[in-house]
């Protein structure tokens, strides 16, 4: 299927050879309280002729890994190797398509596409010819002299593709290229790209794409690589042996989606949900949940209570993929709520299935006042940050500024993560009537439930009643 590279002078490796590799790749970002590891021990090879999807929860480092592979940011340790040579600086064999298109509004479609060629030292006529060819290939003919603002989102993203493809990169990289598009436009564009890829007209040797959408990964990729939410080796690698075009309704497709759901939600060896978990050296030992090693999932009470009620209506159990379908959600939207239900002891994930526990069932069936009480008990048991807020308020005459907790969290989380942690803790604690929060002065005040709560020994040792 590959164009003939007769003559033997070509440097292009044959199909299936390693083009690009990450070797023991690690990457951290500087946080307020020190280095925050995002990637660690990543080994990954990209071979000619394949589409590889990087799948993982929000914050698992998908974009970071892609940017390292593209040489847009340097590896922390380990290396990225392109055609056998360790990368330093931008990867000369890659081009990137971004979620947000990243077009220059004052340039026409053709000029935007030609931007991709600027660094290549081509003459003007050559640039124009190459750009028009890419514009044609991607279905933009007739739009060459249009400005981005005259185009729909789908057409804008076509410009993004044309700009990347015009350089005929060895590896096309895409970071959630369809997620800013409406459902139908996205599906159409995916289909067209896959057709081009299958037809051999695609001027690139491999594709690496980031997605948080399991179905999109199974639809498009030859290999799906799952990143762990905690920095560490890849969580799983799945070959997708389905012929193209793929049928979303086929049982084999559904089975792969289910298995990926299982992997994405599974956290067998982890003490708590790892949505944002970056336990630093300061984190408490396993078994003693702290705000540092037990990050709260980004899920509001309304969402998680709603999910519990839907599960109850389904007889206390349901396939996660079916739940997402029924709710019109993607995995990223659903998983934080699933994490929250698990953390609070209201549900467990088994295989690709979510099952309500007796506590969760009680929570779903209770009236508002009872459900608040059940929720308060679960939160105080399982959410260390909420417990910390309550015990701190009890010690400090009942009121405290949010800044106090931000400082406490600064050694374990980035600023953005701290805001998320406090948002969830505040939402949960308020609903449970443990404390109130006034956004004006950013102040927490003890509520009835919090004032009445007494620190007890751990659950196992607690006296009955
Ligand atoms: N430039 C940066 N400086 C500091 N922290 C960063 C930076 N970029 C990313 N992070 C943090 O690193 C972690 C991984 O981010 P990254 O964008 O790679 O994840 P992702 O898997 O692509 O997430 P999403 O699905 O939300 O796009 C996140 O916690 C993020 O807040
Ligand atoms: Mg990302």
| pLDDT tens string 390-420 | 999 999 888 999 999 999 998 888 888 899 9
Domain co-membership, 260 together with 323: no
Nearest CA to ligand 1 atom 9: 64
Q: Residue 404: give its domain's CATH number.
A: 1.10.10
Q: Each residue of 436-462: pLDDT tens digit?
A: 999 999 999 999 899 988 876 555 544
Domain co-membership, 86 together with 214: yes
Ligand 2 (ion): which residues have CB within 5 A?
A: 63
The total of structural domains in the chain comes to 2
Q: Residue 42: give its domain's CATH number.
A: 3.40.50.300
Q: Which domain holds residue 360?
A: 301-452
Whole-number pLDDT of residue 331: 65
CB 277 within 8 A of CB 230: yes
Domain co-membership, 246 together with 328: no
Over 80: is that where the pLDDT of 11 sits?
no
CB 189 within 8 A of CB 181: yes
Select from 62, 98, 230 the residue to mutate for testing ligand 1; criterion: most ligand atoms less than 8 Å from CB.
62
CB 52 within 8 A of CB 225: yes
The verdict on the CB of residue 198 being under 6 Å from ligand 1 is no
For 207-223, what is the mean pLDDT?
A: 94
Last residue of a domain, one of 264, 283, 315: 264
Q: State the DSSP string of 243-283.
A: -SS--TTSHHHHHHHHHHHHHHH--TT-SS--SS----TTS
Q: Identify whether 125 is part of a domain.
A: no
Q: Identify whether 33 is part of a domain.
A: yes
Q: Identify whether 429 is part of a domain.
A: yes
Domain co-membership, 253 together with 305: no
Domain co-membership, 309 together with 411: yes
225 beta partners: 54, 237
Q: Identify whether 448 is part of a domain.
A: yes
Last residue of a domain, one of 264, 287, 309: 264
State what percent of residues in the chain have pLDDT above 90. 66
User: Atom of ligand 1 at shortest distance to CA of 176?
Assistant: 27
DSSP percent split of the chain into helix, strand, coil, nearest 5: 40, 20, 40
Q: Each residue of 73-128: pLDDT tens digit?
A: 999 999 999 999 999 999 999 999 999 888 999 999 999 999 989 878 889 999 99
Over 70: is that where the pLDDT of 229 sits?
yes
The verdict on the CB of residue 67 being under 6 Å from ligand 1 is no
Which residue, 80, 86, 78, 36, is CA-closest to 61?
Answer: 36
Distance between CA 353 and CA 345 in Å, rounded?
15
By DSSP bridging, strand 223-226 and strand 51-55 are: parallel
The verdict on the CB of residue 35 being under 6 Å from ligand 1 is no
Q: Identify whether 4 is part of a domain.
A: no
């Amino acid at each position: 299927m590959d164009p003939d590279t007769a003559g033997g002078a070509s440097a292009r490796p044959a199909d299936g050879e390693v083009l690009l590799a990450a070797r023991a790749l690690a990457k951290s970002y500087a946080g307020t309280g020190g280095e925050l590891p995002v990637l660690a021990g990543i080994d990954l090879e990209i071979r000619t002729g394949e589409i590889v999807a990087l799948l993982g929860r929000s914050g698992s480092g998908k974009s970071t890994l892609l940017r390292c592979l593209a040489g847009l940011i340097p590896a922390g340790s380990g290396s990225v190797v392109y055609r056998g040579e360790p990368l330093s600086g931008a990867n000369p064999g890659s081009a990137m398509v971004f979620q947000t298109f990243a077009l220059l509004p004052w340039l026409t479609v053709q000029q935007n596409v030609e931007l991709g060629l600027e660094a290549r030292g081509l003459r003007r006529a050559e640039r124009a010819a190459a750009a028009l060819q890419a514009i044609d290939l991607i279905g933009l003919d007739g739009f060459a002299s249009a400005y981005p603002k005259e185009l729909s989102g789908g057409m804008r993203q076509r410009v993004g593709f044309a700009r990347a493809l015009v350089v005929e990169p060895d590896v096309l990289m895409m970071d959630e290229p369809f997620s800013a598009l409406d459902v139908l436009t996205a599906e159409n564009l995916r289909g067209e790209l896959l057709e081009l890829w299958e037809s051999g007209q695609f001027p690139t040797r491999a594709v690496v794409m980031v997605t948080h959408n399991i179905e999109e990964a199974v639809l498009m990729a030859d290999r799906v690589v799952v990143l762990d939410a905690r920095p560490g080796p890849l969580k799983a690698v799945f070959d997708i042996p389905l012929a193209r075009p793929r049928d979303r309704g086929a049982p084999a497709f559904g089975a792969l989606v289910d298995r990926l759901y299982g992997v994405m939600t599974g956290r067998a060896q982890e003490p708590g949900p790892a949505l944002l978990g970056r336990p630093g050296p300061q984190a408490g030992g396993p078994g003693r949940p702290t705000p540092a090693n037990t990050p709260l999932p980004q899920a509001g009470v309304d969402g998680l209570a709603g999910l519990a009620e839907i599960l109850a209506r389904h007889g206390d159990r349901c396939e996660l993929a079916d739940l997402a379908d029924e709710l019109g959600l993607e995995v990223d939207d659903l998983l934080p709520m699933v994490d929250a239900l698990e953390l609070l002891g209201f549900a467990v994930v088994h295989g690709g299935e979510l099952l309500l526990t007796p506590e969760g069932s009680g929570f779903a069936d209770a009236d508002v006042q009872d459900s608040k009480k059940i929720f308060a008990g679960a939160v105080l048991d399982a959410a260390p940050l909420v417990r910390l807020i309550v015990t701190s308020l009890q010690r400090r005459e009942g009121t405290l500024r949010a800044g106090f907790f931000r400082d406490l969290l600064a050694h374990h989380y980035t600023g953005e993560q701290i805001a998320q942690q406090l948002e969830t803790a505040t939402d949960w604690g308020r609903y449970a009537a443990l404390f109130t929060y006034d956004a004006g002065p950013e102040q927490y005040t003890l509520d009835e439930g919090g004032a009445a709560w007494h620190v007890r020994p751990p659950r196992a040792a607690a006296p009955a009643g």
